[in-house]
Amino acid sequence: MEFTAKQIAAFLNGSIEGDEDIKVNKVSKIEEASRGSLAFLANPVYKHYIYKTNASIVLVNKDFKTEQPIQTTLIRVDNAYNALAQLLEIYKKSLPDKTGISQVAHVSKSAKIGQKVYIGEFAYIGENVEIGDGVKINPQAYIDDNVKIGDNTIIYPGAKIFEHSVIGKNCTLHSGAVIGSDGFGFAMQTDSNFKKIAQIGNVIIEDNVEIGSNTTVDRATMGSTIIKKGVKLDNLIQIGHNVVIDENTVMAAQVGIAGSTKIGKNCMFGGQVGISGHLNIGDNVKMAAKSGVGSHIKSKDVIMGSPAIDASNYKKSYIHFRNLEKFVKRIDELENEIKRLKAK
């Protein structure tokens, strides 16, 4: 599909600098773009590419200021990154829409299937499953008994959803995601062995949630593990049993949250954050990558380090960490000087 700069600007409510009739038929990174490409500039780190890019059109923020002549056509918008997201969503919706149930998929007779559903090859749909309209269940996905899946949710190949899990509308579960596997619950016995505690709860995932590849969300021991609406989880994340993650919180890869911890709204966690069990994390909390959290965190706190502390205090302390060798050398010199003075 081809679009002119004029058409794109009209859709994004942007202003054009350059040729309004120039056409694009693909989207590229600004540093790799060729003629006929649409690119964008949102991060100032890539600013130098705009003066040599081969892209036909580049989306930029309205406050972007040029320092050299530019050959490409610019479309100025409020937020270039968001504008690109809008365009990519339109492109995605223009792709062919798969529907129908493969003859080699297993669909239980008691399952309730909505309208315009796609169920791919070798997918498994268990007893009493309820699947909403427009759901896409790709090949080799596994949907266990009594699972409910809301409208327009996408389940990618190899994802597994275990019994009694509830998945909301407009969710995305990427390949290898496991929803509702056993929580990690064991009771120590008198002979130092561990007895498994039956995990009889479920997982509830609300609307507009995205779960990355090979991320696991354990079902509750009793009650529910709950992922509330708008939450975005990256790949390779572990969510323990009875955890609650409130609305619009985002987590980067390899985060691990132990059982029964409660996470607030609008939090942002960097990669490899580790959080102990039975903690309360407030709203709007930010955790730097590799933070190790072993205590409750108040709303709006920004923390880093392991064990994690206030980020500004950590940065001040880190100056001393880096100079530790110098401090040890100075202490050794002072001790030697004291010995000499005592000897006199």
Cβ atoms < 10 Å from Cβ of 192: 6
Separation CA 100–CA 282 (nearest Å): 44
Tokens 């007895």, located at residue: 195
Going from the C-alpha of 332 to that of each of 62, 121, 317, 337, the distances in angstroms are 58, 71, 22, 9
Measured distance CA(332)–CA(191) in Å, rounded: 51
The values of phi and psi at residue 310, to 5°, are: -50, 135
Q: What is the DSSP string of 112-154?
A: EE-TT-EE-TT-EE-TT-EE-TT-EE-TT-EE-TT-EE-TT-E
d(CA 2, CA 154): 28
Contacts of 340 by beta carbon, 8 Å cutoff, 6+ apart: none
Q: Which residues pair with 321 in a beta bridge?
A: none
Give residue 164's Cα distance to chain centre: 24
Active site residues: 241
- Which tokens go with 334? 């002072």
SS3 call for 195: strand
CB-CB contact of 288 with 267 (8 Å): no
Buried b (16+ CB within 10 A) or exposed e, 246-258: bbbbbbbbbbbbb
d(CA 45, CA 203): 41
At 190, list the tokens.
């008198």
Residues 6+ apart with CB under 8 A from 200: 221, 222
DSSP character string of 29-42: -TTT--TTEEEEE-
